[in-house]
Amino acid sequence: MAKETVVDIEGRHLKISNLDKVLYPEAGFTKGQVIDYYVRIAPLLLPHLRGRPLTMKRYPNGVSGPYFYEKNCPEHRPEWVQTARVWSEGNYKWMNYCLAEDLPTLVWAANLADLELHTSLSLGKDILRPTFLVFDLDPGPPANIVQCCQVGLWVRDIFAQLQLQSFAKTSGSKGLQIYVPLNTAVTYDQTKSFAHELARLLERQHPNLVVSDMKKALRTGKVLVDWSQNDDHKTTVCVYSLRAKEQPTVSTPVKWDEVESCLKKGDPSLLVFESGEVLARAKKHGDLFEPVLKLKQKMPPTEALQKLEAGVSAKPEAALRRAAASRKPKKKTATPRAKRKAGVAKKASPERKRV
| 165-to-162, 308, 323 alpha-carbon distances in Å | 9, 17, 35
Which of 120, 147, 177 is the C-terminal boundary of a domain? 120
CATH number of the domain residue 101 falls in: 3.90.920.10
Looking at the structure, tell me whether residues 142 and 285 fall in a common domain.
yes
Q: Is the pLDDT of residue 333 over 80?
A: no
In a domain, residue 67? The reply is yes
Looking at the structure, tell me whether residues 11 and 134 fall in a common domain.
no
pLDDT at 325: 56
Concatenated DSSP letters of 217-258: GG-TTSEEEE-TT-STT-EEEPTT-B--SSS-BB--EE-HHH
**Could you tell me the pLDDT band of residue 241, with boundaries at 50, 70 and 90?**
very high
Q: Is the pLDDT of residue 281 over 90?
A: yes
Give the length of the chain: 355
In a domain, residue 354? The reply is no
Which of 120, 149, 176 is the C-terminal boundary of a domain? 120
Torsion angle of C-alpha atoms 113, 63, 148, 53, degrees rounded to 10: -20
In a domain, residue 349? The reply is no
Of 255, 283, 259, 256, nearest to 270 by C-alpha is 259
Q: What angle do CA 255, 259, 264 make, to 5 degrees?
A: 140
Give the rounded percent of residues in the chain with a pLDDT score beyond 90.
Answer: 82
CATH number of the domain residue 259 falls in: 3.30.70.3300
Across 252-281, average pLDDT:
98
- Partnered with residue 138 across adjacent β-strands are 224
**Could you tell me the pLDDT band of residue 228, with boundaries at 50, 70 and 90?**
very high
Which of 90, 120, 150 is the C-terminal boundary of a domain? 120
Q: Is the pLDDT of residue 99 over 70?
A: yes
Looking at the structure, tell me whether residues 281 and 306 fall in a common domain.
yes
pLDDT at 311: 81
**How many Å apart are CA 267 and CA 269, to the nearest integer?**
5
Q: Is the pLDDT of residue 349 over 50?
A: no
Tell me the pLDDT tens digit for each residue of 23-36.
999 999 999 999 99
| 148-to-73, 121, 191 alpha-carbon distances in Å | 34, 22, 21
**How many Å apart are CA 44 and CA 279, to the nearest integer?**
10
Tell me the pLDDT tens digit for each residue of 51-85.
999 999 999 999 999 999 999 999 999 999 999 99
Range picked from 209-218, 294-303, 339-348 for highest mean pLDDT = 294-303
Q: Is the pLDDT of residue 320 over 60?
A: no
> Using H for helix, E for strand and C for coil, what is the string for 262-295?
HHHHCCHHHHCCEHHHHHHHHHHHCCCCHHHHHC
Q: Is the pLDDT of residue 248 over 80?
A: yes
Range picked from 50-59, 210-219, 331-340 for highest mean pLDDT = 50-59
Looking at the structure, tell me whether residues 291 and 307 fall in a common domain.
yes
pLDDT at 3: 80
Looking at the structure, tell me whether residues 69 and 159 fall in a common domain.
no
Domain that residue 184 falls in: 128-233+249-316
Looking at the structure, tell me whether residues 295 and 206 fall in a common domain.
yes
**Mean pLDDT score of the chain, rounded to an integer?**
90
**How many Å apart are CA 56 and CA 70, to the nearest integer?**
5
Q: Is the pLDDT of residue 10 over 50?
A: yes
Across 270-290, average pLDDT:
98
The DSSP call for residue 261 is H
Looking at the structure, tell me whether residues 162 and 308 fall in a common domain.
yes
**How many Å apart are CA 46 and CA 153, to the nearest integer?**
28
Please list, in sequence order, all residues whose beta carbon lies within 8 angstroms of the beta carbon of residue 213, skipping any fewer than 6 positions away: none
Q: Is the pLDDT of residue 86 over 90?
A: yes
pLDDT at 313: 52
Tell me the pLDDT tens digit for each residue of 174-203.
999 999 999 999 999 999 999 999 999 999
* Distance from chain centroid for Cα 48: 14
Give the rounded percent of residues in the chain with a pLDDT score beyond 70.
Answer: 87
Q: Which of 82-96, 101-115, 259-273, 288-302 shows the lowest per-residue confidence on average (mean pLDDT)?
A: 82-96
Looking at the structure, tell me whether residues 79 and 209 fall in a common domain.
no
Q: How many domains does the chain have?
A: 2
Q: Is the pLDDT of residue 89 over 90?
A: no
Looking at the structure, tell me whether residues 2 and 134 fall in a common domain.
no
**Could you tell me the pLDDT band of residue 255, with boundaries at 50, 70 and 90?**
very high
In a domain, residue 64? The reply is yes
In a domain, residue 41? The reply is yes
Looking at the structure, tell me whether residues 109 and 138 fall in a common domain.
no
- Partnered with residue 139 across adjacent β-strands are 223
Q: Which of 133-147, 260-274, 290-304, 331-345 shows the lowest per-residue confidence on average (mean pLDDT)?
A: 331-345
Looking at the structure, tell me whether residues 75 and 135 fall in a common domain.
no
Of 50, 129, 46, 53, nearest to 97 by C-alpha is 53
Tell me the pLDDT tens digit for each residue of 143-156.
999 999 999 999 99
Is the bond preceding 142 in cis, omega lying within 30 degrees of 0? yes
Concatenated DSSP letters of 165-211: --EEEE-SSS-EEEEEE--SS--HHHHHHHHHHHHHHHHHH-TTTEE
Is the distance from CB of 107 to CB of 14 less than 8 angstroms?
yes
**How many Å apart are CA 182 and CA 180, to the nearest integer?**
6
In a domain, residue 330? The reply is no
Looking at the structure, tell me whether residues 98 and 207 fall in a common domain.
no
**How many Å apart are CA 237 and CA 262, to the nearest integer?**
22
pLDDT at 321: 56
In a domain, residue 22? The reply is yes
The DSSP call for residue 131 is S
In a domain, residue 55? The reply is yes
**How many Å apart are CA 268 and CA 144, to the nearest integer?**
7
Q: Is the pLDDT of residue 124 over 70?
A: yes
pLDDT at 90: 82
What is the three-class DSSP state of 23? strand
